[in-house]
Amino acid sequence: MNSLYYQKRLSRNIGDKFFTSLSVICAVIAILPLIFLVTYILIKGGSQITPELFTLEPNPPGDDLDAGGINPALVGTLIITSIASIIAIPVGVGGGIYLAEYSKGGLFSRFIRFGVNVLAGVPSIIAGVFIYALIVSTKILFGSMYSGLAGGMALSILMLPTIIKTTDEGLKLVPNELRYASLGVGASMYTTILKVTLPSAFRSIATGVVLGIARAAGETAPLIFTALFSYYYITGFGDLFYEMGSLAVLIYNFALEPYDAQNKLAWAASFILVLSVLSVNIFSRILTAFNEKTKRV
């Protein structure tokens, strides 16, 4: 009768407790660097936040009294990320639609999926070097070299795999009965995709888009090769074809300076960038949780 009760001294139960505790310790160790990193940046950079930070230009290194602000870099990050989104979202969603709705699992679709997986693992600096060779060095964009437009193109390459894969997987989760019902009443494939399957998978696709934007916003290496950096305000559309500032490159440049004022500005920019990426990731998780809850209902 005693064998029906839990016996903590049995070797299998002792082993179970040991490995459970070990897995908990490993999980805590894995998350500790993230906690320490985010906490340190929030404390170090949060103390440098002032209203002027968002309105002033950064001053060139050499003035240890006042480093200025991050307005051009902040606006430049928004513009470059927007350009990347304008390029990557239609192409990525379109590619995901083809893989989920039109491909029949043939050689070409398998090649596309393989290519997307490879592209997802390509170092970000390779995207920057590719756009540098294709756009910057050739001056193909109206004779300009480094530009915000070239930076957006480089970041769009990094966004594509995430958007394609999430669109593909999101559309696969739409029940086939919905497609059959739409086609059965005479709707075309185009109408079925546009009116039935895409709206059903919208939240999954939106999650992939948000994650892609979060990744692109924090990249530095591609922008060093494409957008470079600018200390000056962005005043018009023509500035897209010239060097453009970004938070990631500002952090890289000013963190290496021997001046305390520039280092503090880099910490402040780090605070803004980390907070922005963290907010976007939290939003994507909320969107994912809401999507799963809706499916269960």
pLDDT in tens, 184-216: 888 888 888 888 898 888 888 888 898 889 888
Residues 39 and 133 in one domain: no
pTM: 0.84
Q: The domain spanning residue 282 has which CATH number?
A: 1.10.3720.10
Given 31, 46, 61, which residue is the final one in a domain? 46
* Tally of domains in the chain: 2
In this structure, the number of other CB atoms found within 10 A of the CB of residue 239 comes to 20
Structural contact between residues 135 and 141, judged by C-beta atoms closer than 8 angstroms: yes
Q: Which residue has the tokens 């002792």?
A: 14
Do 135 and 11 belong to one domain?
no
CA distance 207 to 66: 40
The tens digit of pLDDT for each residue in 126-144 reads 999 999 999 999 888 877 8
Distance CA(211)–CA(179), nearest Å, equals 28
Q: Are residues 222 and 99 in the same domain?
A: yes
Does position 1 have pLDDT exceeding 50, yes or no?
A: no
Q: How far apart are CA 158 and CA 128, in angstroms?
A: 10
- Write out the residue range of the structural domain in which residue 166 sits: 52-296
pLDDT tens-digit map of 69-120: 899 999 999 999 999 999 999 999 999 999 988 887 778 888 988 999 999 8
Same domain, 207 and 269: yes
Res. 124: pLDDT tops 50: yes
Strand, helix or coil at 209? helix
| Token duo for residue 106 | 């043939």
Report the first-to-last Cα separation within the chain, whole angstroms.
44
Which pLDDT does position 143 carry in this prediction? 79
Query: What integer pLDDT is reported at residue 292 of this predicted model?
Result: 61
